[in-house]
């Protein structure tokens, strides 16, 4: 039935045994169990394609349903819902502005609800569902936050529709200017401004949002791990703490050629850009290995895209990341040299520097979530997140990763076990309780 749901493997009939003083990861509070599963089941059918993968793209009808769901969750928990100048949704427990005035701004958690094309169920939604469930558990335990707690649903984290990842956080931090954002186009030529209008939003309000940023004293994003550091040869733990996000970027390669008949044009007379592209794909793999980085041509558009036509243009997008900025940049430098030789052009569409998370917060999270055998594991990641954008903007930021047994992500096969998801909820509850006390 629900192939992508966390597999129930514990006794769900157990009664809640909330204990507000319980901080230890090992002693789970089971009040969150039915709440987590209920929310998961509500989200599960939204934007799910027949393939089993998710197609949840920014400012579409599916996105509107997800936003409505989030607003309903906020209302049910008695949280105050606001939207910022990029359309990100914030649900506040307590008054964020009173806390700013008092010089002690709030604690924010949350993630995103959008997906890559045919993405998995966990990337994004796990952080949002866990945040809402942790808050519900804290409320049920009678916890009174000393600082307001917010849950955010960031818009367009994956950049699947308009090509810029983390667009929602980039816009409010000013990393993506309002002019550039408004003019971004999807594959049908629809601009972000037009998409906002048809979603009932006001595109002229797009822009850096200091009022929203001031409210975030600390941001902690929970996310499914997109790798196997917690499941492989390393430390076996359901939840880990992020150290840094690898530097990463996206580049567009335009290989121009000459359209012609696939049957009548002699091989010698052809100018076929697909050959140059093929060479670039092979070289990307080779140079990435040489620089201990990763590089991927995962998206390509061909013109005229006919079986019996030699292409006039191959436009391909490279995603490159590395443990250091030099490693990632070197990959692109080598591929640009190839592009120059074949007359192709290379355009940088986005670049994000190495994002180390706040080290004090990181250590505090690891200590809080550790057990008798020491602090929780600390790991780096090659995936970008809104948390990285906020960290770059100077917000004290941390991330929690929930174990992913296969490491598969951005695929319908992405998975986390229910027990690990619930450990994530418990970890978040512990963290929120500590930071907001």
114: contact with Zn ion by CB under 5 A: no
Which is nearer to Zn ion, 124 or 168 (by Cβ)? 124
Count Cα atoms within 13 angstroms, Cβ side, for 319.
Answer: 14
Give the Cα-Cα-Cα angle 80, 104, 130 (nearest 5 degrees).
50
- Stretch of 15-23, 117-125, 196-204, 272-280 contacting Zn ion, by CB under 5 A: 117-125
Closest-CA residue to 424 (of 191, 140, 109, 118)? 109
CB of 308 to Zn ion, least distance (A): 40
Query: If 0-12 CB within 10 Å is exposed, 13-18 middle and 19+ buried, where does residue 307 land?
Result: exposed
Which is nearer to Zn ion, 314 or 390 (by Cβ)? 390
322: contact with Zn ion by CB under 5 A: no
Helix segments in 160-319, DSSP class H:
167-173, 178-183, 192-198, 210-214, 273-290
CB of 154 to Zn ion, least distance (A): 9
124: contact with Zn ion by CB under 5 A: yes
CB of 344 to Zn ion, least distance (A): 31
Which is nearer to Zn ion, 223 or 291 (by Cβ)? 223
CB of 244 to Zn ion, least distance (A): 16
Which is nearer to Zn ion, 123 or 136 (by Cβ)? 123
Phi and psi (nearest 5°) for 109? -135, -175
DSSP characters for 37-97?
HHHHHHHTTTTB-TTS-B---TTSHHHHHHHHHHHHHHHHTTPEEEE-TT--EEEEES-HH
CB of 39 to Zn ion, least distance (A): 17
- Stretch of 116-124, 247-255, 265-273, 350-358 contacting Zn ion, by CB under 5 A: 116-124
CB of 336 to Zn ion, least distance (A): 29
DSSP characters for 390-432?
HHHTT--EEEEEE--SS---SSTT----HHHHHHHHHHHHHHH
CB of 157 to Zn ion, least distance (A): 5
Does residue 219 contact residue 387 with C-beta atoms inside 8 Å? yes
Site for Zn ion in 347-406 (CB under 5 A): none
Residues 6+ apart with CB under 8 A from 120: 4, 53, 54, 224, 408, 409, 410, 411, 412, 413, 414, 415
Phi and psi (nearest 5°) for 154? -75, 140
CB of 381 to Zn ion, least distance (A): 10
Contact code string over 60-99 relative to Zn ion, x by CB under 5 A? ----------------------------------------
- Number of chain positions touching Zn ion (CB under 5 A): 2
Which is nearer to Zn ion, 124 or 145 (by Cβ)? 124
Query: If 0-12 CB within 10 Å is exposed, 13-18 middle and 19+ buried, where does residue 18 land?
Result: middle
Site for Zn ion in 159-188 (CB under 5 A): none
CB of 362 to Zn ion, least distance (A): 19
Separation CA 121–CA 111 (nearest Å): 13
- Stretch of 93-101, 115-123, 182-190, 429-437 contacting Zn ion, by CB under 5 A: 115-123
- Stretch of 123-131, 261-269, 272-280, 402-410 contacting Zn ion, by CB under 5 A: 123-131
Give the Cα-Cα-Cα angle 211, 213, 215 (nearest 5 degrees).
75
- Stretch of 62-70, 124-132, 250-258, 297-305 contacting Zn ion, by CB under 5 A: 124-132
Which is nearer to Zn ion, 106 or 124 (by Cβ)? 124
Which is nearer to Zn ion, 124 or 240 (by Cβ)? 124
Helix segments in 295-358, DSSP class H:
325-342
CB of 124 to Zn ion, least distance (A): 4
Separation CA 396–CA 391 (nearest Å): 6
- Stretch of 50-58, 88-96, 121-129, 147-155 contacting Zn ion, by CB under 5 A: 121-129
- Going from the C-alpha of 367 to that of each of 23, 112, 224, 274, the distances in angstroms are 11, 26, 20, 53
8-10-14-15 Cα dihedral, nearest 10 degrees:
-70
Which is nearer to Zn ion, 284 or 379 (by Cβ)? 379
CB of 399 to Zn ion, least distance (A): 10
Among 123, 136, 221, 334, binds Zn ion (CB under 5 A): 123
Site residues, Zn ion (CB under 5 A): 123-124
């Amino acid at each position: 039935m629900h192939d992508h749901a966390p597999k129930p493997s514990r006794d769900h009939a157990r009664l809640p045994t909330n204990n507000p003083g319980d901080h230890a990861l090992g002693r789970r509070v089971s009040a969150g169990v039915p709440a987590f599963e209920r929310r998961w089941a509500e989200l599960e059918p939204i934007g799910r394609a027949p393939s089993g993968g998710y197609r949840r793209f920014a400012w579409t009808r599916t996105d509107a349903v997800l936003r409505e769901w989030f607003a309903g969750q906020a209302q049910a928990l008695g949280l105050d819902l606001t939207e910022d100048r990029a359309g990100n949704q914030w649900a506040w427990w307590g008054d964020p502005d009173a806390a700013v005035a008092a010089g002690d701004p709030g604690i924010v958690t949350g993630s995103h609800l959008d997906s890559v094309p045919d993405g998995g169920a966990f990337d994004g939604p796990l952080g949002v569902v866990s945040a809402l469930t942790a808050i519900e558990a804290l409320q049920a335990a009678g916890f009174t936050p000393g600082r307001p707690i917010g849950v955010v649903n960031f818009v367009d984290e994956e950049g699947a529709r308009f090509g810029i990842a983390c667009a929602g956080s980039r816009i409010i931090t000013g990393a993506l200017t309002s002019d550039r954002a408004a003019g971004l186009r999807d594959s049908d030529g629809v601009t972000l401004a037009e998409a906002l209008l048809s979603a009932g939003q006001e595109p002229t309000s797009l822009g850096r949002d200091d009022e929203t940023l001031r409210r975030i004293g600390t941001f902690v994003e929970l996310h499914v791990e997109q790798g196997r550091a917690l499941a492989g040869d390393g430390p076996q733990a359901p939840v880990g703490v992020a150290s840094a996000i690898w530097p990463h970027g996206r580049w567009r390669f335009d290989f121009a050629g000459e359209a012609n008949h696939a049957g009548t044009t002699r091989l010698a007379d052809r100018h076929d850009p697909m050959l140059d592209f093929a060479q670039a794909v092979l070289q990307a793999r080779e140079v990435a290995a040489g620089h201990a980085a990763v590089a991927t041509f995962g998206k390509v558009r061909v013109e005229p895209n006919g079986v019996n036509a030699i292409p006039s243009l191959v436009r391909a997008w490279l995603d490159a990341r590395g443990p250091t900025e030099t490693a990632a940049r070197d990959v692109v430098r080598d591929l640009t040299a190839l592009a120059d030789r074949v007359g192709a052009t290379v355009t940088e569409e986005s670049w994000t520097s190495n994002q180390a998370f706040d080290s004090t917060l990181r250590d505090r999270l690891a200590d809080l979530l550790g057990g008798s055998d020491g602090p929780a594991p600390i790991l780096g990641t090659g995936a970008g997140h809104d948390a990285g954008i906020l960290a770059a903007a100077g917000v004290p930021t941390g991330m929690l990763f929930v174990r992913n047994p296969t490491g598969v992500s951005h695929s319908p096969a992405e998975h986390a076990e229910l027990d690990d998801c619930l450990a994530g909820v418990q970890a978040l509850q512990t963290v929120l309780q500590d930071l907001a006390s």
